[in-house]
């Protein structure tokens, strides 16, 4: 049974990120800790009372395909109706289209609760949000007026259609065709791995589809983006005839069984009617709006799923009596939580979850500042920092979350391998996170390429300068964590210099160690925010002394058990490329 970790999230928002983090953003002038607490309390109730009871049953039942369509697991439709009635789809969207315009910072905190309570359910509104943002950014006035109010309210849902059987992650190979016809296009092609491409939760689905207008340039420069609705929309806003788009099948997957992953067919008859978003041949640029939003959201899924796994492992460790304590003092059988190695695993889980939560919320804060601060220079710097952090959050949090879910099985011992304990479901569900929206390797290439090399490491250097100033100002306050973090910061800077230097000589060398660099960044930035959490604990608004003390102890544990990984990651960055590139791929 999942319990919303509201005290931990309040601490993250109020103490680690800080109540004044969005000062200077006029759009969030009314955002207060009291508002955040009220929203999170309601979200916690919805997560625990509506979504969590469907977690196990949805996994066992799964989504079901037939010629008539796709049926979601029992209870999903009623849960979605309650989700819409509660106004949850509207949190992040602009008030211009019926949204509440709340900061991304708060929305990410809310989304953690929904993702942990029922990841399969939560994927549908996540993609709808991304589709809404892409349309709001690049859609025509007519498309915005027709689609956004319905998407923002949750009356309709949205998808992103990128991948094709021959393309995978290589979107340069997209073959879907778009034939001009008056004010629209006829779309022909096949898309695979389309999450919630068909379902019974809403009467209409707005598909955002990558394709090529006939005669477009080859490669990614010739890709356009189209809105292709499941049902065409009449002039009065009512739904008209069914468009020429069908779900041919759904995939049988390792996890997230309640979420239908669809094979979508466009134009099996006369061609599906689609509407161009923005300008032709700029589709990949527009789709990245969705993908950036999705990458942050998938990153939070890493620690949300891990939080659920941790809660289950912690309960098991407190209840499972096995063996006797080490040493002469205690000889009676004790719960396994008293065994040092089990306690170590629980602390590894807890400390890394906290570090990931802080990192994702900090990244969200940068996106908010980058979109709404009154000072243009501050906006520009925040956007650069947010862009830098997105691949780190996505890659580091999903990889670490997967490790934590595997560790939760280990805490359960042999019973963790048995489906009835539920530990296996978290591990199965977590496995897709490192693949969704670009694998960890793709995130790492984005980090060293588009983000690090683009400005010569400027955004990273700015962040490291701020970290050093913060930790240096706190020196001598009795917190010995800062010194260890500063050493890791030095390693991260050294690794960045190495990546930048070698990228100009042989791009393959940098690519071979890019994931190690991403992990080094995640471990180090997580350590910085854990140090901040420990330092600010004394000023916390929490009146629970034991809670605050545990925050300090968890940060100390992170410093001695997780942060030292920065040493091995640096060694891998500086010396690991040659052994990768020396091997002939045909010999493997």
Tokens read off for 371: 């979109």
- The per-residue pLDDT for 113 is 98
Tokens read off for 302: 């890493």
Tokens read off for 281: 């041949």
Task: Specify whether the CB–CB gap between 264 and 280 falls below 8 A.
Answer: no
pLDDT in tens, 478-502: 567 899 999 999 999 999 999 999 9
Task: Specify whether the CB–CB gap between 579 and 44 falls below 8 A.
Answer: no
Tell me the pLDDT band of 283, cut-offs 50, 70 and 90.
very high
- The per-residue pLDDT for 131 is 93
Mean pLDDT is lowest, of 79-83, 331-335, 513-517, for 331-335
- The per-residue pLDDT for 329 is 58
Enumerate the β-bridge partners of residue 242: 231
Tokens read off for 559: 């410093």
Task: Specify whether the CB–CB gap between 179 and 216 falls below 8 A.
Answer: no
Q: What is the mean pLDDT of residues 36-58?
A: 98
The CB density around residue 300, as the number of other CB atoms within 10 Å, is 31
Q: What is the SS3 assignment for 116-144?
A: HHCHHHHHHHHHHHHHHHHHHHHCCHHHH
CA 334/CA 323 separation, integer angstroms: 7
Cα–Cα nearest to 368, from 127, 130, 106: 106
Coil, helix or strand at residue 69: strand
- Could you give the residue numbers annotated as active site? 437
CA 22/CA 99 separation, integer angstroms: 19
Q: Break the chain down into helix, strand, coil percent, rounded to 5.
A: 60, 15, 25
Cα–Cα nearest to 31, from 105, 81, 140, 87: 105
CA 368/CA 23 separation, integer angstroms: 11
CA 118/CA 4 separation, integer angstroms: 12
Say whether pLDDT at 477 is over 60.
Answer: no
Q: What CA–CA distances, in Å, run from 154 to 58, 226, 314?
A: 21, 20, 36
Phi-psi sector, 232: left (phi>0), alpha (psi -120 to 50), beta: beta
Say whether pLDDT at 333 is over 90.
Answer: no
- The per-residue pLDDT for 292 is 78
Coil, helix or strand at residue 446: helix
- Burial class for 6, CB neighbours closer than 10 Å (0-12, 13-18, 19+): middle
| Strands 261-266 and 224-229, sheet pairing | unpaired
Say whether pLDDT at 242 is over 60.
Answer: yes
Say whether pLDDT at 539 is over 90.
Answer: no
Instruction: Using CA atoms of 517, 519, 521, 527 in order, give the dihedral in degrees to the nearest 10.
Output: -150
Task: Specify whether the CB–CB gap between 192 and 263 falls below 8 A.
Answer: yes
pLDDT in tens, 130-181: 999 999 999 999 999 999 999 999 999 999 999 999 887 778 789 999 999 9
Cα–Cα nearest to 393, from 346, 347, 443, 430: 443
Task: Specify whether the CB–CB gap between 196 and 120 falls below 8 A.
Answer: no
Say whether pLDDT at 330 is over 90.
Answer: no
Task: Specify whether the CB–CB gap between 131 and 158 falls below 8 A.
Answer: yes
Q: What CA–CA distances, in Å, run from 108 to 40, 85, 360, 419, 455?
A: 11, 20, 8, 30, 28
Q: Give me the chain's average pLDDT, please.
A: 94
Taking the CA atoms of the chain, what radius of gyration do you get in angstroms? 24
Residues 6+ apart with CB under 8 A from 551: 11, 354, 533, 534, 537, 540
pLDDT in tens, 516-534: 999 999 999 999 999 999 9
Cα–Cα nearest to 58, from 159, 201, 191: 201
Axis-axis angle for helices 283-319, 376-412 (nearest 10): 40
Give the rounded distance of the alpha carbon of 570 from its chain centre.
25
Tokens 């979350």 map to which residue? 401
Give the rounded distance of the alpha carbon of 265 from its chain centre.
28
Tokens 């789809």 map to which residue? 89
- The per-residue pLDDT for 208 is 97
pLDDT in tens, 303-326: 999 999 999 999 999 999 988 766
Enumerate the β-bridge partners of residue 178: 187, 213
Task: Specify whether the CB–CB gap between 143 and 158 falls below 8 A.
Answer: no
Coil, helix or strand at residue 25: strand
pLDDT in tens, 377-432: 999 999 999 999 999 999 999 999 999 999 999 999 999 999 999 999 999 999 99
Containing 272, the helix (H) or strand (E) segment is strand 272-276
Task: Specify whether the CB–CB gap between 205 and 159 falls below 8 A.
Answer: yes
- The per-residue pLDDT for 186 is 98
Q: Please calculate the CA angle 349-351-357 and round it to the nearest 5 degrees.
A: 100
Question: Topology of domain 157-281, per CATH?
Answer: Butyryl-CoA Dehydrogenase, subunit A; domain 2 (2.40.110)
Say whether pLDDT at 327 is over 70.
Answer: no
Cα–Cα nearest to 192, from 253, 241, 118: 253
Residue 75 main-chain phi, psi, to 5 deg = 95, -20
Question: Topology of domain 6-153, per CATH?
Answer: Butyryl-Coa Dehydrogenase, subunit A; domain 1 (1.10.540)
């Amino acid at each position: 049974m999942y319990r919303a970790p509201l005290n931990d999230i309040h601490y993250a928002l109020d103490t680690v990120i800080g109540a004044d983090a969005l000062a200077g953003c006029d759009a969030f002038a009314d955002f207060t800790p009291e508002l955040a607490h009220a929203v999170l309390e309601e979200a916690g109730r919805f997560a625990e009372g509506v979504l969590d009871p469907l977690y196990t049953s949805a996994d066992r039942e799964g989504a079901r395909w037939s010629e008539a369509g796709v049926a979601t697991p029992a209870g999903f439709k009623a849960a979605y109706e309650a989700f819409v009635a509660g106004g949850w789809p509207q949190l992040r969207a602009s008030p211009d289209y019926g949204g509440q315009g709340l900061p991304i910072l708060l929305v990410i905190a809310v989304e953690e609760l929904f993702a942990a309570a029922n990841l399969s359910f939560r994927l549908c509104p996540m993609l709808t949000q991304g589709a809404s943002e892409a349309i709001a950014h690049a859609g025509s006035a007519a498309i915005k007026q027709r689609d956004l109010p319905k998407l923002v309210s949750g009356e309709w849902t949205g998808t992103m259609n990128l991948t094709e059987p021959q393309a995978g992650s290589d979107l340069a190979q997209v073959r879907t065709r778009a034939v001009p016809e008056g004010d629209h296009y006829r779309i022909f092609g096949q898309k695979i791995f389309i999450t919630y491409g068909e379902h019974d939760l809403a009467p209409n689905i707005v598909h955002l589809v990558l394709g090529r207008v006939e005669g477009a340039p080859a490669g990614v420069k010739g890709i356009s983006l189209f809105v292709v609705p499941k049902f065409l929309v009449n002039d009065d806003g009512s739904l008209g005839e069914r468009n020429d788009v069908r779900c041919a099948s759904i995939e049988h997957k390792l996890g997230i069984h309640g979420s239908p992953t669809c094979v979508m067919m466009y134009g099996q008859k006369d061609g599906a009617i689609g509407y161009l978003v923005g300008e032709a041949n700029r589709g990949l640029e527009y789709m990245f709006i969705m993908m950036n939003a999705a990458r942050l959201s998938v990153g939070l899924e890493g620690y949300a799923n891990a939080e659920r796994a941790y809660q289950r492992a912690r309960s098991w460790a407190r209840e499972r009596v096995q063996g006797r304590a080490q040493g002469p003092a205690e000889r009676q059988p004790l719960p396994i939580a008293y065994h040092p190695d089990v306690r170590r695993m629980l602390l590894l889980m807890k400390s890394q979850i906290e570090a990931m939560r802080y990192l994702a919320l900090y990244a969200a804060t940068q996106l908010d500042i980058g979109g709404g601060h009154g000072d243009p220079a501050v906006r520009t710097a925040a956007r650069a920092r947010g862009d830098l952090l997105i691949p780190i959050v996505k890659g580091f949090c999903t990889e670490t979350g997967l490790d934590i879910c595997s560790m939760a099985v280990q805490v359960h011992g042999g019973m963790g391998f048995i489906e009835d304990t539920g530990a296996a479901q978290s591990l199965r569900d977590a496995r897709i996170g490192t693949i969704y929206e670009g694998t960890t390797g793709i995130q790492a290439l984005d980090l060293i390429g588009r983000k690090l090399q683009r400005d010569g490491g400027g955004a990273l250097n700015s962040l490291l300068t701020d970290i050093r100033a913060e930790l240096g100002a706190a020196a001598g306050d009795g917190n010995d964590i800062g010194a260890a973090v500063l050493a890791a910061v030095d390693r991260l800077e050294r690794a960045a210099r190495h990546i930048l230097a070698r990228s100009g000589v042989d791009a393959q060398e940098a690519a071979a160690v890019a994931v190690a660099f991403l992990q080094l960044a995640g471990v180090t930035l997580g350590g910085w925010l854990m140090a901040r959490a420990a330092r600010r604990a004394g000023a916390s608004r929490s009146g629970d002394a034991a809670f605050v003390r545990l925050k300090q102890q968890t940060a100390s544990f992170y410093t001695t058990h997780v942060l030292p990984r920065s040493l091995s990651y640096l060694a891998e960055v500086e010396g690991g490329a040659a052994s990768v590139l020396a091997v002939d791929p045909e010999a493997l």
